[in-house]
Amino acid sequence: MPIVFEQDTGYRLLADARFPVPALTSDEAIGQAVAAVVADTPNLKPGLGATPVTRKLAAAAPETTRRLLGDASGLVAVLDMKLADHAQHQDAIRVVQRSLLAHTKLAGSYRSPHEPQPTEVILHPYRLCFLKQAWYVVGRPEGGDHPQTYRVHRFDPNLRQLPDPADVPEDFDLRTYFGNAWSVYRGEPSYEVEIIFNQTAANVVLETVWHRTQQAHRHPDGSVTLRFTIDGLTEIVRWVLGWSGSCRVLRPPELRDLVVARLRAGLEPGGTS
């Protein structure tokens, strides 16, 4: 790099100097292009940098790499993902990112679906994570003893970064925090779950790993039993209801009772499941 030394100002990098472009392999170039496509998916966007970075790499890269970046971007698509709508909350996501990087507090108004009115929150943010269908902030509310989970799009647009330093435990681990929650919210106690799926549903249900503790056992008749270790039942009962008519809960009895109660409630006049 062209460095100039001047007695009064010291060392200086020339204004028109260009840093060398990383020598990307074909797999790396394709990976960058695909990552940009995924990051640019509506309602998912974690920021605005992935696509511009890909364009800058292409502009300065050799012809082969430039062609790979362009072809991969044009041939790969992510469509119709059932995600929470973050289209109006890109600013909030960036505020969270800046606070996490600066280790400072967040403040804003949070609209919980379980509370009649929004509540003002001052938060020590621990992590930003995308889980299942939405972006979440995990952090400890000011005055609280334990971290909680907040959906980003439930914050009003007034979410802001505070200058005060955040108190974030160095040993915090996101996987430990979520434990064996079925989705986002970890309940109590822990349950050993067994669900048998009939032959018609077996192949479809096995195409997806639904939980990190999942174990599957095929039966001679083509049916399959899935086993999970789950912290709480509130979230998994909704999933089981989606397979109604194709599965049967073997254990625990608490989950079976919840499924039956929801189905009965849905059959009541004016009732919901």
- Residue span of the structural domain in which 238 resides: 190-267
Q: Give yes or no: residues 173 and 194 share one domain.
A: no
Residue 156 lies in a domain: yes
Burial class (CB in 10 A: 0-12, 13-18, 19+), 106: buried
Same domain, 196 and 174: no
Beta strand extents in 82-185 (DSSP E only): 104-110, 119-131, 134-141, 148-151, 160-165
How many other C-beta atoms are found inside a 10 Å radius of the C-beta of residue 259? 23
pLDDT of residue 39: 81
pTM > 0.85: no
Q: Does residue 251 fall inside a structural domain?
A: yes
Q: What pLDDT does 21 receive?
A: 66
Identify which of 242, 204, 71, 90 has the alpha carbon closest to the alpha carbon of residue 153. 90
Upstream peptide bond of 141 is cis (omega within 30 degrees of 0) = no
> Which pair of tokens denotes residue 93?
């996501």
For the chain, the domain total comes to 3
Q: Is residue 174 part of a domain?
A: yes
Q: Is 61 within a domain?
A: yes
What does each C-alpha distance from 166 to 56, 107, 125, 161, 163 come to in angstroms? Answer: 35, 11, 7, 11, 9
Which CATH number covers residue 141? 2.30.30
What tokens appear for 48 in the block? 């605005």
pLDDT per residue rounded down to tens, the chain (273 residues): 678 888 887 887 777 666 666 778 889 888 888 888 888 877 776 666 678 888 888 888 888 888 888 888 888 888 877 777 766 778 888 899 999 999 999 999 999 988 899 999 999 999 999 988 889 999 999 999 999 999 998 998 889 999 999 999 999 999 999 999 999 999 999 999 999 999 999 999 999 999 999 999 999 999 999 999 999 999 999 999 999 999 999 999 999 999 999 999 988 876 554
Clarify whether residues 157 and 223 are in a common domain: no
Residue 67 covered by a domain: yes
- Same-domain pairing of 12 and 55: yes
135 with 158, same domain: the answer is yes
Is 171 part of any domain?
Answer: yes
Asked if residue 84 belongs to a domain, the reply is no
Of 119, 151, 178, which marks where a domain is finished?
178
> Would residue 238 count as lying in a domain?
yes
Last residue of a domain, one of 178, 201, 218: 178
